A and B are shown apart, each in its own frame.
Chain A
Amino acid sequence: DIQMTQSPSSLSASIGDRVTITCQASQDISNYLNWYQQKPGKAPKLLIYDASHLETGVPSRFSGSGSGTDFIFTINSLQPEDIATYYCQRYGNLPLTFGGGTKVEIK
């Protein structure tokens, strides 16, 4: 199975900071990568698909990039409502797998 390694597992940043999360696949997955946001006590929500495409209605401060094995998720100008855990997710073949998650907190 293709493993997804996400880092860091947690981070603390100030309002307005730029936040970067990385996700690495154990083998080439092209751009078959999504990013989800899970707020405390809530279900996950799809933010970015195909590595870099913003889902409709998602604020433009969120972005994604990368292909192959290395991917980056960025929040430009962190807002209080962005407090959540973020997960990368690989698709394209089975089993579908997630990264371990990155918990984002306010400093």
Chain B
Amino acid sequence: DTGVSQDPRHKITKRGQNVTFRCDPISEHNRLYWYRQTLGQGPEFLTYFQNEAQLEKSRLLSDRFSAERPKGSFSTLEIQRTEQGDSAMYLCASSLSGLAGVDTQYFGPGTRLTVL
């Protein structure tokens, strides 16, 4: 399968612990996005990368959240000192830059985080 993959698919942690998620985009895609989705809502934009550069971050991304894409390929999203409000599905998407204003994103299956 050459789609976007995410690991782990499920994570249960205790409040205060740190967690890290990984996203492997489609191999030739240079853009990578992170979103958070809670039940009954649409995905909320967190951040995106073009190659290894993090170009935009949402205000939702507090200082407990950090994302990296060190070699312009896979990306990690770390949440430090998790809180119960962090419980959500974390989605990764990738895209290939093309025509101006056109950016079709392909989504991974997500990592479901539960903070107890």
State whether these chains interact.
no
Chain B residues within CB distance 8 Å of chain A? none
Residues on A lying within 8 angstroms of B by beta carbon are none
